[in-house]
Structure 1
Amino acid sequence: MKRVLGLSFFYLLFSACSVHYRPKDHPYVYVQKKDREVKEWKLVWEENFNSPKLDSSKWSRIPAGGADWNKHMSTDDACFGWENGALILRGIKNTNQDKDSRPFLTGGIWSKGKFAFQYGRIEIRAKLGSAKGAWPAMWMLAELDKYGKYPRNGEIDIMEHLNFDNIIYQTTHSYYTLDLGQKENPKHFGTASIKSEEYNTYGISWYPDRIVFQVNGVDTFTYPRVNGVDPAQWPYDQPFYLLIDQQLGGSWVGEVNQDQLPVEMRVDWVKVYQ
């Protein structure tokens, strides 16, 4: 995305905002007032997936791309479902390779261009499916492109799960960790134990000086802002949008066993507090 004109003016107004401030040019962006985190947070945005269709004012289906994570993404209805108030995101065999040559397809949603926030707490209640090559993820990318092309704006991985693991990964990526190779100053990821066949609540509490990762309300890993290092260490001072997707395959998770498909992630709700 191109740099947004008027962004400096956006931040001059920052200290005048209430619980959340939505700039005129980006009414879907929720920015937390300075020092608001020292007070009791309030629910400012939520999605309960009670309707048997995707709320297009909040979400879009993720289209296919060229990266490991999205090269099998599809907007096909077969990759999506609703049941008992939960959104179902599926990884499936592709049964019509004459129309689409990819061997399998995956479903995912993002709030890009429809909802983004800066600082606060996000919680996502979901149940993960397991299969060889399954890679469900909940993560965040920058909405307004403050620092340039990826990975300059950073990435916040709330939760990633691989194969049949009994742990999840919670990670930050940025120019500092990827291009400069600074993965231990500070450590940029942690793991947490889960029972993937059960519903769990995954989240972060995001402050101006740290990101605290959580599972079921328990702090699991903290990524702090560090003084005296390259400024690229902390691109997390801008609004981010949300992605939730049932990925398959790739260099990290490995090959997909199609005999174990379909695999699915069930998302009960998403809540954001500021």
Structure 2
Amino acid sequence: MKNIFLKLTFVMALCAGLFSCAEDDYDIGEITAPTNLQVDANIVGQSGEMPNGDGSGQVTFNVSANNAMTYKFIFENGSSATTSSGTYTHQFSETGTKVYTVNVIAYGPGGTATSMVVDVEVLVTYEPPKELIDKLVGDGNKEWRIKAEVPGHFGLGPVGGVVPAEWYSAGANEKSAAGMYDDRYIFNEDGTFTHITGGTVFGRAGLIDQLGGSGGTVDGADVLNLEYGDYTENWSISAPGGNETINLTGIGFIGYYIGGDHQYEIFDRSGSNDIILRSTDGNGEFDWWFIITSGEEGDGGEEPEEQLIWSDEFEGDSLNADNWNFAIGNGDNGWGNGESQYYTDSQDNVKVENGNLVITAKRESESGFDFTSARITTKDKFEFTYGRVEVRAKLPAGGGTWPAIWMLGAEWPEEAWPGVGEMDIMEFVGNDPDRVSSALHFPGNSGGNAIVGATEGFTDLTTEFHIYEVEWTTDKIIFSVDGTPHLEFNNNDDTPFQNDFYLLLNVAMGGTLGGNIAADFQESSMEVDYVRVYQ
């Protein structure tokens, strides 16, 4: 990106505070307005061939001045932004090439200020699709709200993450006392954005102060029910990096005030009434996720949506005994597979730390076996029929390792295998480290005759987290890795996959699939970030 310093029309304005006193003299020191104000504008994609940028409409302003404390940017459409760093990226959105006038103000001690007016010529090639505009605007005065009644309507995750509310997902109506659910948002056809607040708003401590409201209750990192009235800003649609994005001017926000650039990327708008949004906060700390809807709660206008019915995020410092059981021992003939490990409930083999479940297989003697490891299950604690299981995990390395994320029919061991059915969401063999597989076991298709699908060519299964998933319905079972299916099965009433199943996580060693154990193997772990079940 070529950096071109804009030396354009400017106006210098100096403001000095005047003070008077009655009888007492106070030495307040010299109050000096900022000097040497400079504005450097970087138009994204700017080059000799594209002097007005690549069409994204993004411009990063870098401002400096001697004796300045904060900087404010005021744009033609009435929006503004304030920063102490002097760096701010603005999204221009009017299609075509246009010269925009920007007023930049440097503030010093005592309210002194120096300003400069600059013109920047920017190309915007994106024009939002009509169906998106129609969806947002409707026939006029169409109201949007946070979809409080569904889990995941509000949450957070890593910056740049692609899993909605990956690190925290609010339950249905969880924030009913925060001052968010009665807010309404109107995207007017004339480009104005109306936020009806209901008198109070909800936001991030340290950032919501930008609104200048009063009152509110500090609750950890949140501020609840800050007094703030209705307001109007402007809205537009752009597509930086090809991602459709709602841009709000000034202090315009949706759901939970996070400061930042007030840009909300449209992550999913496939629902007839719903849109999933994400936005990075002003601290650059998290991506915040929101589900907004134009439908009324319980109006029947949408098909039933997928909801999170069970999960373990592995927070805290120990395994949740309400969710999991331990399988102890080596079972019958190495759990029927000739496996070489002895499963324990020792923290050397299974623990929760740093937000992950860690199952470790080790070379150590126990009860006549040369290796220890762990196997945990949800039997009798969580069992379900149909749904989508999503597990984010990093796999163990080393010849002989055989980790698995899987499900068994709830009637086992009371009823015989394979009659109860088995769904292997993920199996990995350390002796074949670029391949991950899934399988179905049931009468006529079990053991070496199981129905198997696999994906090959991985280079990072043991160094990076991946998402392993099964989608299970009455007539279809689909296994995937990172959203890409590798096994699809037509389910029917003749299979055992119409009944309750439970979850299992383990790391085996050797056996019929794990194969030879490397002579130098000492220990290795499977790390699980979360297990989530949706219906």
Q: TM-score, normalised by structure 1?
A: 0.76
1:273 aligns with 2:534: yes
Which residue pairs with 2:375 in the alignment?
Answer: 108
Aligned to 2:343: 73
1:252 alignment counterpart: 513
Q: Distance in 1 between matches of 2:354 and 2:412?
A: 37
1:198 aligns with 2:464: yes
**CA-atom RMSD in angstroms:** 2.4
2:445 counterpart SS class: helix
Measure the CA separation in 1 of the matches of 2:386 and 2:419: 18
The 3-state SS of whatever aligns with 2:520 is helix
Q: Partner of 2:311 in structure 1?
A: 46
Query: How do 1:1-274 and structure 2 match up within 5 A?
Result: 39-64=304-329, 65-66=331-332, 67=335, 68=337, 69=339, 72-94=342-364, 97=365, 100-144=367-411, 148-163=415-430, 164-178=432-446, 188-193=451-456, 194=458, 195-196=460-461, 197-225=463-491, 231=494, 234-274=495-535
Deviations 1:16-58 (A, max 9, x none): xxx9xxxxxxxxxxxxxxxxxx732111111000111111110
In structure 2, do the counterparts of structure 1 residues 258 and 83 end up closer, same or farther at CA, with 3 Å as the change threshold?
Answer: farther
Task: Report the alpha carbon displacement of residue 146 of structure 1 after superposing the two structures with TM.
Answer: 11
Is the Cα contact below 8 Å between 1:72 and 1:248 reproduced in 2?
Answer: no
SS for the counterpart of 1:251 is: helix
Q: CA deviation at 1:166?
A: 0.8
Sequence identity (%):
30
Pick closer, same or farther for the CA change 1:100–1:246 going to 2, 3 Å.
Answer: same
Deviation at 1:245, TM superposition (A): 0.5
CA distance in 2, matches of 1:71, 1:155: 21
Q: Give 1:167 deviation, angstroms.
A: 1.1
Q: Which amino acid aligns with 1:87?
A: L
Question: Does the CA contact (< 8 Å) of 1:147 and 1:235 recur in 2?
Answer: no
SS at match of 1:103: strand
- Structure 1: which 5+ residue stretches go unaligned? 1-18, 20-37
CA distance in 2, matches of 1:123, 1:255: 30
Given the superposition, is the C-alpha separation of residues 182 and 262 from structure 1 closer, same or farther in structure 2, using an over 3 Å criterion? closer
- 8 Å Cα contact 2:440-2:446 kept in structure 1: no
Letter in 1 for 2:401: A
Shift of 1:71: 5.2
Cα shift at 1:189: 1.1
Seen in structure 2, the aligned counterparts of structure 1 residues 46 and 254 have a Cα distance that, compared at 3 Å, is: same
User: Cα distance, 1:215 vs. partner?
Assistant: 1.0
Amino acid at match of 2:509: L
Q: 1:267 to 1:146 in 2, by over 3 A?
A: closer
- Secondary structure of 2:343's counterpart equals coil
- Matched pairs, number: 225
Q: Quick one: higher RCO (CA 8 Å, sep 6+), 1 or 2? A: 1
Q: Are 1:170 and 1:190, in contact at CA under 8 Å, matched by a contact in 2?
A: yes
Partner Cα distance (1:189, 1:41) in 2: 27
Amino acid at match of 2:360: R
SS at match of 2:369: coil
Q: Shift of residue 176 of structure 1?
A: 2.1
**Residues 341 and 370, structure 2, Cα contact 8 Å, conserved in 1:** no
Task: For residue 252 of structure 1, give the secondary structure of its aligned residue in structure 2.
Answer: helix
Instruction: Tell me the residue number matched to 2:224.
Output: none
**Greater mean deviation of Cα atoms: 249-258 or 202-211:** 249-258
Structure 1 Cα separation of the partners of residues 328 and 414 of structure 2? 24
Instruction: Give the whole-Å Cα distance in 2 for the aligned partners of 1:246 and 1:176.
Output: 27
2:406 counterpart letter in structure 1: W
- Greater C-alpha Rg: 2
Give the secondary-structure state (helix, strand or coil) at the position aligned to 1:177.
Answer: coil
**Larger CA deviation: 215-224 vs 196-205:** 215-224
Partner secondary structure for residue 236 of structure 1: coil
Distance in structure 2 (CA, Å) of the matches to 1:80 and 1:178: 29
